[in-house]
């Protein structure tokens, strides 16, 4: 008999995991909505602007392994408090001293990568409280913290226009400090946790081909979500001559849909099976991204296509992590770090690729079509491993995943 979701775990911890993830994602993504204004003041090229917004993604990807190890070795709560403190100090220094060169902006981007590593804290913190039948919902709710990108896209360009983009770093400190206090007071580590893992356990996990498949699948869903979220302010500005504030509003509409779909993606995966749900989501994303690559003349049509694509990618994030605990229940800390790292790397490559191709060709369409092709490749890859997973995951996992 299944236990009610709200009675199965610890709701205050689930709320704190979401809030911590939400505000961390807000500041991790902060350079994206500000990129046009920063690039104008620092006189950056399109490729340099892309590098600016891609740097936090890569730093966050690499640091997720470190944060995953800390969460596994000590506790998710301790790792979260440390990470949040580092981000707050970094923003305070940037606000007080200012950012005057590309190199300084990139250094700030590396520091903000610690916020991106929050993924490796919030998901284990929530997951360890909930049984298998509620993993999709729990991981989806905690993972919906990527909605923090909406706040950054909505408010950062407008605040920058009113007060200067450097002062946005000071404004961001207010919700971060509130979140730090709530996280310290309300979040609790689960009473039973997996044994701490060694570095060798990460290397062992990389020797499992399923690990690489999950990393690839998530590099498309989450990498696509964060990569597009970071690139869209510049895309709408370049393609349709939208001012930074309007481009931010357009981007906010895209990331809002994608972030809100993450919990629904987990719930759909619980109901219909993670693999079935993920196959459908890759299909939606590939079709929409390929269509927008034809350079539609209307910014509203492009917006609609990006919104639907982000819905698919956001739901795909929830579907991937509905499957992960079933396959790697005892290695959830290790796998969260590795898979999260792959997602960040995917986002970095997408943003960098968009900027490089735009710089070289004057257009974005080849990069968009390339990403759509990768989503198609993920669809065929998932469909092919489905047969092997039937035989290797065991009867319980197959039933839960409805492979």
Give 112: exposed, middle or buried? Use CB within 10 Å, 0-12, 13-18, 19+: buried
Please state the φ and ψ torsions of residue 99, each to the nearest 5 degrees.
Answer: -120, 115
pLDDT band at 163 (very low <50, low <70, confident <90, very high): very high
Tokens for 291? 């269509």
- Give the SS3 label for residue 41: helix
171: pLDDT strictly greater than 80 = yes
Q: For 99-113, what is the mean pLDDT?
A: 94
- Give the SS3 label for residue 393: coil
Q: Read off the pLDDT of residues 355-393 as tens digits, 9 standing for 90 and up.
A: 899 988 989 999 999 999 999 999 998 888 877 766 665
What's the rounded Cα separation, in Å, for the pair 223 and 227? 6
Give 48: exposed, middle or buried? Use CB within 10 Å, 0-12, 13-18, 19+: middle
24: pLDDT strictly greater than 50 = yes
Whether this model's pTM surpasses 0.85? no
What's the rounded Cα separation, in Å, for the pair 10 and 294? 47
Question: Is there a contact between 292 and 368 (Cβ–Cβ < 8 Å)?
Answer: yes
- Give the SS3 label for residue 33: helix
Cβ neighbors of 292 (< 8 A, separation 6 or more) are 302, 305, 306, 309, 368
The Cα-based distances of 342 to 36, 147, 199, 257, 331 in angstroms read 27, 20, 17, 22, 16
| Range scoring the smallest mean pLDDT among 167-176, 237-246, 275-284, 391-400 | 391-400
What's the rounded Cα separation, in Å, for the pair 183 and 246? 33
Closest residue by Cα to residue 140 from 51, 258, 243, 34: 258
**Which pLDDT score is estimated for 330?**
65
CATH code: domain 13-188+195-401 is 1.20.1250.20
Across the chain, what does the average pLDDT equal?
Answer: 85
Q: For 169-181, what is the mean pLDDT?
A: 94
Question: Is there a contact between 248 and 129 (Cβ–Cβ < 8 Å)?
Answer: no
Q: Where are the domains of the chain?
A: 13-188+195-401
Closest residue by Cα to residue 280 from 290, 291, 269: 269
What's the rounded Cα separation, in Å, for the pair 398 and 403? 6
- Give the SS3 label for residue 356: helix
What's the rounded Cα separation, in Å, for the pair 59 and 52? 12
Q: Read off the pLDDT of residues 118-154 as tens digits, 9 standing for 90 and up.
A: 877 887 787 777 766 666 677 667 766 667 888 898 9
The Cα-based distances of 295 to 22, 37, 230, 299 in angstroms read 32, 24, 19, 9
**Which pLDDT score is estimated for 6?**
64
**Helix spans in 273-331 (H):** 274-292, 299-327
- Percent of the chain that is helix, strand, coil (3-state, to 5): 85, 0, 15
Closest residue by Cα to residue 23 from 112, 108, 110, 107: 112
What's the rounded Cα separation, in Å, for the pair 139 and 122? 9
């Amino acid at each position: 008999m299944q236990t009610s979701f709200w009675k199965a775990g610890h709701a205050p911890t689930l709320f704190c995991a979401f809030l911590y993830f939400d505000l961390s994602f807000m500041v991790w993504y902060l350079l994206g909505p500000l990129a046009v204004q920063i690039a104008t003041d620092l006189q950056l090229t399109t490729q340099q602007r892309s590098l600016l917004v891609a740097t936090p993604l890569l730093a966050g990807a690499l640091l997720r392994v470190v944060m995953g190890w800390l969460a596994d070795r000590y506790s998710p709560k301790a790792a979260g408090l440390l990470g949040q403190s580092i981000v707050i100090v970094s923003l305070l220094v940037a606000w007080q001293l200012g950012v005057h060169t590309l190199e300084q902006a990139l250094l700030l981007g590396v520091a903000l990568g610690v916020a991106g590593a929050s993924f490796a804290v919030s998901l284990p913190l929530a997951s360890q409280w909930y049984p298998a039948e509620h993993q999709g919902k729990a991981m989806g709710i905690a993972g919906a913290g990527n909605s923090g990108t909406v706040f950054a896209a909505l408010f950062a360009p407008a605040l920058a226009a009113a007060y200067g983009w450097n002062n946005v770093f000071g404004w961001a400190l207010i919700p971060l400090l509130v979140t730090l206090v709530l996280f310290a007071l309300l979040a609790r580590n689960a009473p039973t946790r997996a044994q701490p893992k060694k570095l060798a356990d990460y290397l062992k996990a990389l020797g499992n081909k399923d690990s690489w498949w999950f990393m690839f699948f998530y590099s498309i869903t989450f990498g696509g979500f964060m990569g597009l979220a970071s690139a869209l302010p510049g895309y709408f500005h370049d393609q349709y001559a939208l001012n930074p504030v309007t481009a931010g509003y357009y981007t906010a509409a895209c990331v809002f849909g994608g972030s809100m779909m993450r919990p629904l993606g987990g719930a759909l995966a619980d109901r219909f099976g993670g693999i079935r749900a993920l196959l459908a989501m890759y299909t939606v994303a590939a079709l929409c991204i390929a269509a927008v690559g034809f350079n539609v003349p209307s910014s509203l049509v492009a917006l609609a296509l990006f919104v639907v694509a982000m819905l698919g990618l956001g739901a795909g994030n929830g579907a991937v992590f509905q499957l992960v605990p079933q396959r790697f229940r005892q290695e959830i800390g290790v796998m969260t770090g590795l898979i999260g790292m792959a997602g960040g790397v995917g986002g970095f490559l997408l943003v960098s690729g968009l900027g490089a191709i735009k710089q070289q060709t004057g257009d974005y369409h080849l990069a968009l079509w390339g990403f759509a092709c990768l989503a198609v490749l993920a669809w065929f890859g998932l469909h092919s491993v489905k047969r092997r997973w039937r035989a290797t995951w065991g009867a319980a996992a197959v039933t839960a995943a409805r492979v």
